[in-house]
Structure formats: structure tokens, C-alpha cells
Amino acid sequence: MNVKMKGIYFLILSLLTFSMSVMASEYKIGLSAWSGYPQSIKGFKDALAKGGFIEGKNTLFILKNANANRQKQIEIAQKFEDENLDLIYSLTTPSTVIIKDIVKPTTPIVFSIVTYPADSGLIESFDYSGNNLVGTSNYVPLKYYVDLFIKLLPEAKKVAIFHRKGEPNSNIQAVNLSRLFRRNKIDVLDQQPENLAEVRQMAQALEGKVDAIITTTDTLMQNGGEQALVLISKAHGIPILSSNKQGIINGSTFGPVADFYTLGKMSGEMAIKILNGDSTPKKLKSKLQNPPTILVNKSSIDLLKIKIPASLTSIVYVD
């Protein structure tokens, strides 16, 4: 082999060695968005970047969106299983249940926007998951809802709670909210639509029958259901106590909410500890944002002529 050929041989060998080194140091993380939630994904990525896991440099993110379709989510979970990922970030309860059932139990799963991770059977408790999952909940302690509601609508006597029929997390939230409102002598109508058409039909039938509408943190409300309620709220003068930040931004009246970007960052910080080998999901505690963010839609509250009492502070207005 002449000198020129030796040089080319060693150059190729060096490039292959470097390429293998880069591949070996690259982390592969699956992002299961279920139906979107870009702020959650951004918060997660921002936290990882701050921890040294930088997209395009040493970290590959594989983003999949099932568009709230269960069969498509099953296919995504199966693809994630084939990819031999270092970690999966999964959003919402339905998404995470499917991921957990299909992906091998040695793959770490960090979740977010899961309202009741223990009651839904994803983990044993917030303090100890008992498996390969850990993450953040968008649960807001119910006292914040009722306290805020009574302060802003002290004369209200009857409310309607909307939650998707058959969705575990929002059903739990609706049951507990109903109990607490009734304890405060406020009657509750339980509304369980399965689709957007039923949301509109049920809401239209409530004109003159309730003093307010309450939304839950389920996928139907977050994907068109709450927006349909906003139109009816403005047309018929019915205020909405919302569980969803985007819902208030889009016109719901007010609510104590969990910020998806903040939760994403919190989940990302857990992922860093796992990827660095400093901890495992079993050794980490799942968390929620406490206190929540209190949002008030200025246009909606002015339209409905609801006054903010001077005793209520730390409010963030959106318009």
C-alpha cells in the first residue's frame, strides 16, 4: 500500500471512529405529544438543553403526535419500543397508559399533563412510582377552584361541570369537584359529552338553568370542547371557571391553572437526573405546580360584568 493510499485509509478509519463515537454519545428521546401541547414540549426541551442535552448536538428527539387517536398511539408506542430509546416523554393520561403497556419496563418514562397519575394506575403514589415512570401532574388542588369561584361569583347557586365521558382523570376531577361544590351548598349538573357536537348540544340546553360552567383538564375540553363552551358563554352570559390555561386565553372567564411550560421544565429536570444516571424513576417523586397560576380573561370578565374583589391578589390577566 503506497503512502497516498495509507493516508486515505487512515482518514476513512478516523471518520468512522469519530462517527461511531458521536453515535455512541447521542441520546435518543421519544416525545409522545398525544394531541399537541407545544409549550410542554418546549419546556421539556429547554430544561434538557440547560442540563447539557442539546438537540442536534448530542440529543435526538423523535416527536410523534397521535392526534388523540388510540390506534395511532399504539403504533407510536410500538415504534418507540423498536427504537431502543434512552427515555420517553409522554403527555396526557391516555397517551401514557398506552406507552406504559407496550414499552418494556426498563425504558424510563417521564410524563406530564397527567392529572391523576396514581389513581389512573400509572404509578403507585407521588412519593414512590414503583415502576419506570415518574413525572408532573397538571392537577390543581380543588380548594383553589372553589375559593376563587366563591370570591368572584358569591351569589351562584348552580353550576354545570363538563368532562369527557369515559376519561378516567377528568371523571375523578369532576366527582371531587362536585362533592366540594355541594358541600358549599352549590348544586351541580354533571355533563358527560363524548364529542364536540354533544358539548354544544348540552351547553345550549343549559341557558337559564345554571350560574356558571366548569371545565375539566380532559382531552375533549383541551381540543375544541372548551372553545365551543366559550361561544355559548359569551352569547348567553354564562361565566366559565376553567381548568385549562389555553381555555382562558381563548375566552373562558377565569381559573386556577397549571402552566404546561412550567410542568414541562419540571419534567425535564427529572429526565436529566435519569439520563445522567444520578437517579431512576423509582427514586424520584412526581410533582405538581403549587401554587397554580390564577388567570383571568379581561375581555370575558368585562363582558360578563364580573368584578374582581380587592382581596384577590396575584392575578395574571390575559386578553
168 confidence band (pLDDT: 50, 70, 90): confident
Give CATH for domain 142-257+293-318.
3.40.50.2300
Answer positive or negative: Cα dihedral of 42, 69, 167, 84.
Answer: negative
Of all helices (H) and strands (E), which one includes residue 203?
Answer: helix 196-204
Section 254-278 average pLDDT: 96
Extract the runs of DSSP E, i.e. beta strands, from 121-230.
133-137, 158-162, 187-191, 212-215
Section 13-19 average pLDDT: 45
> Exposed (0-12), middle (13-18) or buried (19+): which is 128, by Cβ within 10 Å?
middle
pLDDT attached to residue 6:
52
Q: What share of the chain is helix, strand, coil (3-state, %, to 5)?
A: 45, 20, 35
Residue keyed to cell 343549559: 206
Amino acid at 219: T
Decide if domain 3-139+260-288 falls under CATH 3.40.50.720. Answer: no
CA dist 83 and 110 (Å) reads 17
The phi, psi pair for 148, rounded to 5°, reads: -65, -40
Q: What is the pTM of this model?
A: 0.75
- In CATH terms, are 3-139+260-288 and 142-257+293-318 the same topology? yes
Q: Where are the domains of the chain?
A: 3-139+260-288, 142-257+293-318
Task: Identify which has the larger pLDDT, 25 or 190.
Answer: 190
pLDDT for 4 beyond 80: no
